[in-house]
Amino acid sequence: MKLVGKTSIVTGAASGIGMGTATRLAQEGAQVVAVDINRTGLEHTVELIRQKGGIAVDCVADVADENDVQNMIQVALEAYGQLDILHNNAYWHAPGPICDITESDWSRTLDVCLKALYLGCKHAIPAMKKSGTGVIINTASIHSLVGFKNYAAYDAAKGGVIGITRSVAVDYAPEIRSNAILPGAILTKTWDNINIDEANPYITRCPMRRLGQPDDIASAVVFLASDEASFINGASLVVDGGLTIVGDA
């Protein structure tokens, strides 16, 4: 119970890493505002948290829309009276190389994966300052570090996540800490139509010989959100089973 009395917002909480993180934060004692554009999945996450004895409310929002982001902060303040933790996790992307991506797909990818962090930080930080402290955790990716074929927009956005994370860390410390999580290949719905047997290249190249689970990322988020990480600021924590240390990854 590392986060008793803390209020957290998790975006992209309807499935995958967001669902896993929201659930773990609640298990560690945090009060959760689960945010997503997918109402049905969001309601499922909140119900799951409550079934396990946690405290959570939902907030349907498009994190690339400033009015929705302002509302999500207000939901947290009205429900719990404070804001301590923001996990900017929602994502959307269109695959393809530069010449094949439409301008609208490029813009939507950067809006959800990058602009949303700007908006989240912009409106969360003043609320956190009223409480005296706060922690922002941004979901970047190993795409922030290495290039992947046919991921031009996503790679660009995730590279920018590192920049925002560091900027906030410098500008708003010591009251606010800002760090990034860089997941590797994590088993979420993205993999539903992909063969993930032992021959999958992400498995064969990974020293741990498996895909990650959402709970692997949730564990890292809980650590960074807790007082155990009180001297960690502006860091990029890679959680990929060692995938990016392999030369041909």
Task: Note the CATH number of domain 7-245.
Answer: 3.40.50.720
| pLDDT attached to residue 198 | 62
Reported as a single tens digit per residue, the pLDDT across 188-239 is 877 666 667 765 888 888 999 999 999 999 999 999 999 999 999 999 999 9
The catalytic position among 80, 91, 118, 154 is 154
pLDDT bracket for residue 40 (50, 70, 90): very high
Of all residues in the chain, the percent with pLDDT exceeding 90 is 89
Reported as a single tens digit per residue, the pLDDT across 149-198 is 999 999 999 999 999 999 999 999 999 999 999 999 998 877 666 667 76
Measured distance CA(151)–CA(101) in Å, rounded = 10
> Which sequence spans correspond to the domains of the chain?
7-245
| pLDDT attached to residue 194 | 66
Confirm whether 80 is a catalytic residue: no
User: pTM of the prediction?
Assistant: 0.94
Closest by alpha carbon to 114, among 150, 148, 85, 143? 143
Out of 19-28, 34-43, 191-200, least confident range: 191-200
The strand ranges marked E within the chain are: 7-11, 31-36, 55-60, 85-88, 134-139, 176-183, 236-239
The side-by-side arrangement of strands in the sheet containing 236-239 is 55-60, 31-36, 7-11, 85-88, 134-139, 176-183, 236-239
pLDDT bracket for residue 249 (50, 70, 90): very low
Reported as a single tens digit per residue, the pLDDT across 83-101 is 999 999 999 999 999 999 9
Reported as a single tens digit per residue, the pLDDT across 127-151 is 999 989 999 999 999 999 999 999 9
